[in-house]
Structure 1
Amino acid sequence: MRNVPSTEHPDPTSSTHLAAPVTAGAVAAVVGFSSAFVVVLAGLRAVGATADQAASGLAALCLAQALGMLWLALRHRMPLALAWSTPGAALLVTTGPVDGGWPAAGGAFVVTGLLVVLTGLVPRLGDLVAAIPVPLARAMLAGVLLPLCLEPVTALVDAPLRIAPIVVTWLVLLRLAPRWAVPASLVVALGVVIVAAGDRIAVGELTPSVALTTPSWSVPALVGIALPLYVVTMASQNVPGVAVMRGLGYRVPWRESMGVTGIGTVLSAPFGGHAVNLAAITAALVAGPDAGPDRARRWPAALSAAAAYAVLALGVGAVTAVVAAAPEGVVQSAAGLALMGTLAASLGEALRDDHERVPAVVCLVVAASGISVLGVGSAFWALVAGLAVRLVHPRT
């Protein structure tokens, strides 16, 4: 659908009809980036990336999102927002190194992107993803997030002087300005790192870097990374993203959106990007009332968000250098606080249905265990265990 009919009639000469979407798009990009970049860096490092390779991956994701939003917004005149897969990055943290190392992880990212493209081209593949019970998909995600969300608790006990300012900032802003609670806590965390690290942050590391890695493929990486990453990205990002846009009055061009995000994932993978997808949370900022009263005139918000992500890509080297110099527990605590909302939502959906509760809890526990069997991580085995329990557990 190229144009969305307007239901309201603001003054077309009003400067707010352009200022509002431009501001909303920039805010969405800043919130999206600052709320989760530490999770992305942690995920990429966990599966074998060096600091330079992780920085390259973060920059590649920013640019892939920017280009994808430009294409979709100009083609459809719709405020479609793209994002990286934050749940997918959290999955990588719990997966850890796989056979074949970082090149094999890159190969898994490529396969994830190809699966997303196929989802747009082959409806049956989308049906298979939809056939995974929602409680199990949410329970798997909750199990992946749980160890990360425990980090602020353990770190607060181990290093209260460093972690308390981060937690207190998050709590205060959660009450006064919830949208900015996570970004503000991350700013404080970076401040703590700068004070603690001092001159250990090398100036030469602050410039953007590009690290190209030739992908390779291994069965453990494909089963342990590609498949769970695809399921998490589809179930936690793309499907909710479509639902958010529908609630705001837009019909997402499904096939083309999957094509753009899948191709973006494939192209960014050799540079370290793990997954590009439709935005879910920031979609409400780009396409909601904050972007203007007239739905048909909100699409420049996507252009503004794209421009902001392109600018943010230039600062990736700086934030990566700061994160790399962080004392133990500081970045992990900020990442855990950033994922609290996602954990709460996942737990709510996973445990809502009484008949699905036991299989969902089994799925959650296995995912949170961090086990690895035959070189395959716990997220895959969590789905297997949850489905097995679901088969034998009475549903009445």
Structure 2
Amino acid sequence: MLKRNVVQFPRLLSVGNVSNGFVAWLFGSAGPLLIVLQAATKGHLSDSTTSSWIFAIYGIGGLLTLLMSLYYGQPIGYAFSIPGAILVGSALTHYALNLVVGAYIITGIIIFLLGISGLVTKLMKVLPMPVMMGMVSGVLLPFGTDMVHSVMKNPLLNGIPLLVFLALSFFLRFSKKFPPILGAIIAAILCIKFLPGVTVQPIHVSIGIPQFITPSFSFSVIGELVIPLILTVIAIQNAQGIAMLESSGYRPPINSMTNWSGIGSIVNAFFGGHPACIAGPMTALLANKDSGKHEHRYVAAIVLGILSCLLALFSPMASEIPHVIPASLIQLLGGVAMISVLVDSLKMSFSGPFKSGALFSFLITISGISIFHIGAPFWGLIGGTLATLFLDKQDLKKPVAPSQPIQETAAAIELK
């Protein structure tokens, strides 16, 4: 099948699958890249280290997309965990990068072992999905509040891109082909160029060179990051991608997809990149009917993979963005990029059962507490689970399958 798909790829290219692959790449390289840059800024990482991080997550993500899509003939899009980037950004404020890299490696090994053991489905049932999503919502919430603060700080510079985003989002059919976040970025570039009092430095074109990071291991860092990162990859990101492929009529290779998420995460780690995973909304775009016949939609994923590898090649240009764009504007764009993700996570937290557990998970996470040097996201999961046992006993009698809310989210994205 691999040889056949490789041979057929050039003649199967069409406006539809090229367009969907390109739009999926825009969604993955606009807002999510800003989130990674914001996390790197919080951790005070150097430009070369940030460039290596970008090189890893887009390069490995692109290669995995090419490998899996060509081998299985399905539109499987790999990228990186967006909630994971936010978790890492918080951890880098009080831990050295090499300690965080050690946690990445442990995360990748466990994900790989879960894949080869076939225990992924059982793991997803350990914690109620609303409790997990309550933690994710708590992690994402600061991006929304930072967006509001950025507009208050500079209403003209940051308000115009926000208005453009809202205006483009109003037209659903158009926004499916032209991401509103891209419109906000274009508006931001125009504001930087033409608004008075805004000065920027030029970006230099250069080729990315990955930087090897020697890992170190710490129980406190492993305790803070590993479980939340595993959950964001397996129970959130990969689960969304799997649900979206299934809703489009495919039979995704779940164990293989998990195995390669683990392998990709390990490789990413040595170059400063956080875990690899299936990209849910991007996969929805790739599998859309506009990508052509059902058996030919993998071509859109190939386009995505090639473009992701090119972005990795020129990663130093991306790492200079924090020095070129005002910090408040990056906050605005990062917040705008997270709006739909935050809406979906809040919906999945509080629209079904286990509301009390989800609320405790959410509140503990946004509190920012740290116990035994282990951060709030982990304690949010623990506290939310305990609250579920005491306050949501009636829901435990009739547990909801973890995939149900994710499938609803997949359907919602597909309709858009």
**Does structure 2 retain, via aligned residues, the 8 Å contact 1:162–1:192?**
yes
Corresponding residue number in structure 2 for 1:178: 175
**1:52 Cα deviation from its structure 2 partner:** 2.0
**1:386 Cα deviation from its structure 2 partner:** 0.6
2: CA distance between counterparts of 1:362 and 1:117? 31
**1:46 Cα deviation from its structure 2 partner:** 3.2
Corresponding residue number in structure 1 for 2:98: 103
Residue 156 of structure 1 aligns with an amino acid whose one-letter code is: V
Q: 1:89 aligns with which of 85, 88, 94?
A: 85
Q: Kindly indicate whether residue 158 of structure 2 is the aligned counterpart of residue 163 of structure 1.
A: yes
Residue 368 of structure 2 aligns with an amino acid whose one-letter code is: G
Corresponding residue number in structure 2 for 1:273: 273
**1:32 Cα deviation from its structure 2 partner:** 1.5
1:229-249 CA distance string (max 9 Å, x none): 111122221011100000001
Q: Kindly indicate whether residue 28 of structure 2 is the aligned counterpart of residue 32 of structure 1.
A: yes
Q: 1:115 aligns with which of 110, 117, 122?
A: 110
Secondary structure at the counterpart of residue 79 of structure 1: coil
Larger deviation: 283-292 or 242-251? 283-292
Alpha-carbon spacing, 1:278–1:203, altered in 2? closer, same or farther (3 Å): closer
**1:161 Cα deviation from its structure 2 partner:** 2.0
Corresponding residue number in structure 2 for 1:395: 393
**1:209 Cα deviation from its structure 2 partner:** 3.8
Alpha-carbon spacing, 1:122–1:190, altered in 2? closer, same or farther (3 Å): farther
1: CA distance between counterparts of 2:302 and 2:392? 51
Q: Kindly indicate whether residue 131 of structure 2 is the aligned counterpart of residue 130 of structure 1.
A: no
Secondary structure at the counterpart of residue 277 of structure 1: strand
5 Å matches for 1:148-297? 148-176=143-171, 177-179=174-176, 180-192=179-191, 198=199, 200-201=201-202, 203=204, 207-292=207-292, 294-297=293-296
**1:197 Cα deviation from its structure 2 partner:** 6.3
**Does structure 2 retain, via aligned residues, the 8 Å contact 1:25–1:302?**
yes
5 Å matches for 1:348-363? 348-353=347-352, 355-363=353-361
**1:75 Cα deviation from its structure 2 partner:** 1.4
Q: 1:380 aligns with which of 370, 378, 381?
A: 378
Alpha-carbon spacing, 1:189–1:123, altered in 2? closer, same or farther (3 Å): same
Alpha-carbon spacing, 1:217–1:142, altered in 2? closer, same or farther (3 Å): same
1: CA distance between counterparts of 2:93 and 2:326? 22
Residue 31 of structure 1 aligns with an amino acid whose one-letter code is: F
Secondary structure at the counterpart of residue 59 of structure 1: helix
**Does structure 2 retain, via aligned residues, the 8 Å contact 1:201–1:322?**
no
**1:36 Cα deviation from its structure 2 partner:** 1.1
**Does structure 2 retain, via aligned residues, the 8 Å contact 1:244–1:284?**
yes
2: CA distance between counterparts of 1:169 and 1:91? 29
Corresponding residue number in structure 2 for 1:319: 318
**1:262 Cα deviation from its structure 2 partner:** 1.4
1:47-69 CA distance string (max 9 Å, x none): 45323212211121111011111
Residue 175 of structure 2 aligns with an amino acid whose one-letter code is: P
Secondary structure at the counterpart of residue 83 of structure 1: strand
Q: Percent identity?
A: 25
**1:19 Cα deviation from its structure 2 partner:** 3.8
2: CA distance between counterparts of 1:126 and 1:348? 22
Alpha-carbon spacing, 1:153–1:199, altered in 2? closer, same or farther (3 Å): closer
2: CA distance between counterparts of 1:377 and 1:85? 18
1:340-370 CA distance string (max 9 Å, x none): 11111111111113x5212211110111122
Q: Structure 2 length normalisation: TM-score?
A: 0.85
Larger deviation: 85-94 or 154-163? 85-94
Secondary structure at the counterpart of residue 277 of structure 2: strand
**1:25 Cα deviation from its structure 2 partner:** 1.5
**Does structure 1 retain, via aligned residues, the 8 Å contact 2:357–2:392?**
no
**1:389 Cα deviation from its structure 2 partner:** 1.3
Q: 1:55 aligns with which of 45, 51, 58?
A: 51
**Does structure 2 retain, via aligned residues, the 8 Å contact 1:118–1:125?**
no
Larger deviation: 28-37 or 374-383? 28-37
Q: Structure 1 length normalisation: TM-score?
A: 0.89
Secondary structure at the counterpart of residue 271 of structure 1: coil
**Does structure 1 retain, via aligned residues, the 8 Å contact 2:41–2:322?**
no
**Does structure 1 retain, via aligned residues, the 8 Å contact 2:355–2:392?**
no
Unaligned residue ranges in structure 1 (runs of 5+): 4-11
Secondary structure at the counterpart of residue 79 of structure 2: strand
**1:201 Cα deviation from its structure 2 partner:** 4.1
**1:202 Cα deviation from its structure 2 partner:** 5.9
Residue 141 of structure 1 aligns with an amino acid whose one-letter code is: V
1: CA distance between counterparts of 2:16 and 2:25? 14
Alpha-carbon spacing, 1:70–1:241, altered in 2? closer, same or farther (3 Å): same
Corresponding residue number in structure 2 for 1:306: 305
2: CA distance between counterparts of 1:240 and 1:330? 30
